[in-house]
Amino acid sequence: MKSFTIKEINTLLNGELIGDTTQKITGPEHIEKASTDQITFIGNKKYVHLWGTSNACAAIISENLNVEPLENRAIIKVKNADLAMAKVLEIFNPSLPQFDVDLHPTAVIHETAKIGANCKIGANCYVGKDVEIGDGVILYPNVAIFDATIIGNRTLVWSGTVIRERTEIGSDCIFHSNVSIGADGFGYRPDSSGLVKIPHIGNVIIGNNVEIGANSSVDRAKFSSTIIGDGCKIDNLVQIAHNCILGRSCIMAGSSGLAGSVTLGDGVVIGGASSIKDHVTIGSGAVVGGGSGVMSDVPAGKTVVGYPATDARDMFRQWVALKKLGKG
């Protein structure tokens, strides 16, 4: 089991150590649940009162909060407790599941595929014709990579993920279990014989440092490309439809979805269970509140909420007015 002294952790965080503890620290935990060998964190004043009754031997505290050390219980003051705790979580992070052999004998790898140095390919994986995989890529068991796909260095793909043909993926990406990349876009047109399927012959292009959560889908374009920019973070159960374009460092929370040909600027935040109408553009830095339905373009930097989504301040005033009417 990993363990660290309070001084070792403070060195990692470059914080201000106040007080001391002789207890070796074996991991982080919520302030209410922590045991005497664990460290906790307080980033908001509403949790300060819990420090006195917590069993944690140490706490990471945002510097704007007033918290005192206790007997054999230390605090580390930092600029941002959430970011500091992320560093602590990293040092206690268990190692990834290990491979007995780098290329499992049950994996099917086409003779034309190019596999980089130090790759690991698990049991029952499929790597198709003309696939190019960079150095240090890890494919856990039961991953399928179809023809002419390109994957950059150090990308990690968890079990059950399917990456369809002609997809282009950058370096240092993470795809969690059962991600679908490059499936057909949802396109049909009515005809006298019924619904006619519209072919989608484009592809998906994904940048560097992109993370896509379990059971999420990114559909390929009708023509051209569906594009996910560098640094985007996609939660579980997210749908990104054909021909969508996401800028850099966008965030989409769980169960949200983009209809076809939506464009997001850089740093857009889409709250959980939000839905975005097709052909809508959301400007850089805009925020869509959870559960909202966006029906029209959103300017850069704007926060919108509700269904249909509108300026957050206007919507909150409407909600207050409706509440007062209900009481009348």
Question: Distance between CA 56 and CA 88 in Å, rounded?
Answer: 15
Q: Please report the pLDDT score of residue 316 as a whole number.
A: 82
Q: What pTM was estimated for this model as a whole?
A: 0.93
Strand 58-62 to 38-42 pairing? parallel
Considering only CA atoms, give the Rg of the chain.
24
**pLDDT value, residue 103:** 97
Note if 242 is an active site residue. Answer: yes
pLDDT reported for residue 93:
95
List of the chain residues with pLDDT < 50? none
* Other beta carbons less than 10 A from residue 190's beta carbon: 8
Read off the amino acid at residue 121. Answer: I
What pLDDT is stored for residue 314 in this prediction?
Answer: 86
CB atoms within 10 A of CB 95: 5
pLDDT value of residue 328: 65
pLDDT at 38: 98
Question: What is the rounded CA–CA span in Å between residue 160 and residue 255?
Answer: 19
Q: Residue 208: how many CB atoms within 10 A of its CB?
A: 17
Q: Which one from 104, 200, 242, 279 is the annotated catalytic residue?
A: 242
Residue closest to 289 by CA, chosen among 261, 260, 319:
319
Cβ-based burial of 19 (10 A; exposed 0-12, middle 13-18, buried ≥19): middle
Whole-number Å distance between alpha carbons of 285 and 136: 33
